[in-house]
Amino acid sequence: MRLDDGGALDFDYLLYAVGSTAARGMTGSEHAWSIADLDGAESLRTRLRQLPAQAPVVIVGGGLTGIESAAEIAYRYPSLDIALVSRSVAAGLPASSRARIHDKLANAGVALHTGLRVTAIRAGGVDTDGGRLPSDCTVWAGSLAVPDLALRSGLPVAADGRLRTDDALVCLHHRRIVGVGDAVAPPAHVGAHLRMSCQAALPMGAHGADTVLAMIRGQQPSSVSIGMTGQAISLGRRDGFIQAAHRDDTPAAFALSGRAAAVVKERVCRFTVTSMRFPRAYRWLPGATPSVPVPPPVAA
Ligand SMILES: Cc1cc2nc3c(=O)[nH]c(=O)nc-3n(C[C@H](O)[C@H](O)[C@H](O)COP(=O)(O)OP(=O)(O)OC[C@H]3O[C@@H](n4cnc5c(N)ncnc54)[C@H](O)[C@@H]3O)c2cc1C
């Protein structure tokens, strides 16, 4: 493996876990801030603190990142003029949950511009197919993309650049590389329901470690099996929304909102760190596919 300082590292087994970043294909995306990494989030905070009262802030994208960004900025900087522009907001949730999130955002002071497609980001605004919105700070929450490291390294990748693996998360054609997290595309029967999330990345990481240990011991690694539980959405520090899901990530009937949901969401965030303190105790919900030994690869 080559490093950008000119060095190189040998490996017996390599865990490919390069995650995802904000997609930067939009015209003028250099004028937008992103919270997909810590540097971006810190730079956004600096910008928000510089803005005068009533300055327009536009969040592009109505997925979970856009919803949370809009609500948190509105909570932390109530004097700013916050707008969220997107073709849809909370599109993956049931209609009743969607309506409640729309109401909560509106009550938090976020102006919703739905049904619009952003065509370009400018220094002082956002162009949409319905006209221009002024913006002194545009937050890009449009979509995620994975690094092109696997593609550049000649490894097998899916159309979106994610590393292709077998059921046990072992890279196809390269048995000493194991892929975990957002940057990886396991076969559909074990991975189609795993959206980019820490909810999927944490158990994938743990399973990937078990896969490496099994291969070191000369054993057949097991098929990955991960059940999803739902979506936990922060809506400012004192409000939230929890949408329960079936293990295949389709929405279930149960939803929770308000202060209790905010507390659950905060605990979910903290768990991503505290779970690392007790790695042997870490467990997750199995998926619909039972975990079974993966047959040895057939020689090409
Ligand atoms: C603001 C925000 C809020 C989120 N909230 C939630 C949530 O509430 N619930 C949820 O389930 N998910 C949430 N997510 C998604 C979740 O954080 C990711 O799905 C998860 O972190 C993916 O884990 P990962 O290990 O695959 O990758 P990452 O956590 O992205 O880690 C990848 C690491 O690899 C490094 N890297 C990349 N390329 C290279 C390279 N070439 N060389 C060396 N290092 C490299 C990166 O710098 C990074 O440190 C959120 C994401 C964001 C940005």
Q: Residue 266 falls within a domain, yes or no?
A: no
Q: How far apart are CA 163 and CA 204, in angstroms?
A: 13
Please tell me if the CB atom of residue 18 comes closer than 6 angstroms to any atom of ligand 1.
yes
Q: Residue 175 falls within a domain, yes or no?
A: yes
Q: What is the pLDDT of residue 298?
A: 45
Domain containing residue 220: CATH number: 3.50.50.60
Atom of ligand 1 nearest to the CA of 196: 19
Q: Residue 188 falls within a domain, yes or no?
A: yes
Q: What is the pLDDT of residue 150?
A: 97
Q: What is the pLDDT of residue 291?
A: 53
Q: What is the pLDDT of residue 7?
A: 83
Q: What is the pLDDT of residue 33?
A: 95
Whether the predicted model's global pTM rises above the 0.85 cut: yes
Does residue 85 or residue 275 have the better pLDDT?
A: 85
- The closest residue, in CA terms, to atom 19 on ligand 1 is 197
Pocket test for ligand 1, best of 198, 235, 266, 271 (most atoms within 8 A of CB): 198
> pLDDT band for position 277 (50/70/90)?
confident
Phi-psi group of 175: left, alpha or beta (phi > 0 → left; psi -120 to 50 → alpha; rest → beta): alpha
Pocket test for ligand 1, best of 152, 165, 197, 269 (most atoms within 8 A of CB): 197
The mean per-residue pLDDT over the stretch 146-161 comes to 96
The mean per-residue pLDDT over the stretch 285-297 comes to 65
Interval between CA 20 and ligand 1 midpoint (Å): 6
Q: Residue 169 falls within a domain, yes or no?
A: yes
Please tell me if the CB atom of residue 243 comes closer than 6 angstroms to any atom of ligand 1.
no
The structural domain count of the chain equals 1
Q: Residue 56 falls within a domain, yes or no?
A: no
Please tell me if the CB atom of residue 161 comes closer than 6 angstroms to any atom of ligand 1.
no
Please tell me if the CB atom of residue 181 comes closer than 6 angstroms to any atom of ligand 1.
yes
Q: How do residues 232-273 score in pLDDT, each as one tens digit?
A: 999 999 999 999 999 999 999 999 999 999 999 999 999 988
Interval between CA 273 and ligand 1 midpoint (Å): 13
Interval between CA 36 and ligand 1 midpoint (Å): 8
> pLDDT band for position 300 (50/70/90)?
very low
Q: What is the pLDDT of residue 78?
A: 96
Q: What is the pLDDT of residue 50?
A: 97
Q: Residue 34 falls within a domain, yes or no?
A: no
pLDDT of residue 133 exceeding 60: yes
pLDDT of residue 297 exceeding 60: no
Q: How far apart are CA 181 and CA 130, in angstroms?
A: 37
> pLDDT band for position 25 (50/70/90)?
confident
The mean per-residue pLDDT over the stretch 88-107 comes to 95
The mean per-residue pLDDT over the stretch 189-202 comes to 95
* Domain with 201 in it: 14-19+145-226
- The closest residue, in CA terms, to atom 43 on ligand 1 is 18
pLDDT of residue 17 exceeding 60: yes
Q: Residue 162 falls within a domain, yes or no?
A: yes
pLDDT of residue 290 exceeding 80: no
- Mean pLDDT (the chain, rounded): 93
Q: What is the pLDDT of residue 44?
A: 97
Q: Which residues neighbour 182 within 8 Å (Cβ) at sequence distance 6 or greater?
A: 19, 20, 144, 146, 162, 196, 197, 201
Q: How do residues 64-74 score in pLDDT, each as one tens digit?
A: 999 999 999 99
Q: Residue 57 falls within a domain, yes or no?
A: no
- The closest residue, in CA terms, to atom 53 on ligand 1 is 36
Q: How far apart are CA 170 and CA 161, in angstroms?
A: 16
